């Protein structure tokens, strides 16, 4: 992996001042969750979020089996750059969103029995995201067995999520050599003071570790 090629996504933000602090660290993406059952469900005013100066950081909206109309309305209201689908959304639904001009991230929940062939039909997406299968659609703070990534034979770059912590930085250098399509590291629950509020020190240390190429 070339220096500076790995990107970082900070997901599950739900505090305007915290968003502003995180953005100063210059992650590539921030994730806003639009799912009522999530403890990180975004309840920030859409006009405030839409008008934030994020620089080059892109806003990702996370949805779970949402209706197309409501999703598109939320994209417009919050000025989202990407849509991340964390439910059982069909290929047809995903293609409809792309036809609407959206950039799409499709999530797959991974356990030891997951069949990587399930990703084949979604190779038109901008990214795939591999997260740990748990009781919630995301934010479970649990790592899956990364060896299963060896079975991914697609061409679409992927995002690694699921319990990532600072202690993983050194190991991520090693696996990045094996997985050239690993493009983004998605951090969430292990970098929080409480759900929706990120620890700026921890997030900054992770991003600096990536950017300085000390570990990755």
For residues 49 and 40, give the distance between their C-alpha atoms in angstroms, rounded to a whole number. 15
Number of CB atoms found within 10 A of residue 174's CB: 10
- Closest by CA to 200, choosing from 26, 53, 78, 43, is 26
Residues facing 32 on adjacent strands: 61
Phi, psi for 199 (deg, rounded to 5): -85, 110
pLDDT recorded at residue 134: 63
Tokens read off for 2:
């070339």
pLDDT recorded at residue 214: 44
* CATH architecture classification, 7-211: Alpha-Beta Barrel (3.20)
pLDDT over threshold 50, residue 185? yes
More reliable by pLDDT, 3 or 202:
202
Contacts of 67 (CB under 8 A, 6+ apart): none
pLDDT recorded at residue 137: 59
pTM value is 0.92
């Amino acid at each position: 992996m070339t220096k500076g090629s790995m990107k970082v996504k900070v997901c599950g933000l739900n505090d305007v001042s915290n968003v502003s602090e995180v953005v100063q660290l210059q992650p590539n993406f921030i994730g806003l969750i639009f799912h009522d059952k999530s403890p990180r469900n975004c309840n920030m005013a859409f006009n405030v979020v839409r008008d934030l100066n994020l620089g080059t950081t892109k806003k990702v909206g996370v949805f779970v089996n949402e209706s197309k109309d409501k999703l598109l309305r939320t994209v417009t209201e919050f000025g989202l750059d990407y849509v991340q689908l964390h439910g059982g959304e069909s290929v047809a639904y995903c293609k409809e969103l792309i036809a609407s001009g959206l950039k799409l991230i499709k999530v797959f929940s991974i356990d030891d029995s997951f069949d990587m062939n399930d990703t084949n039909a979604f190779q038109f997406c901008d990214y795939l995201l591999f997260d740990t299968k748990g009781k919630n659609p995301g934010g479970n703070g649990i790592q899956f067995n990364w060896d299963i990534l060896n079975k991914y034979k697609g061409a679409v770059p992927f995002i690694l999520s699921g319990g990532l912590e600072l202690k993983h930085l050194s190991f991520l250098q090693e696996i990045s050599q094996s997985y050239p399509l690993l493009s983004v590291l998605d951090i969430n629950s292990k970098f929080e003071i409480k759900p929706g509020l990120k620890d700026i020190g921890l997030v900054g240390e992770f991003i600096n570790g990536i950017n300085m190429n000390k570990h990755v």
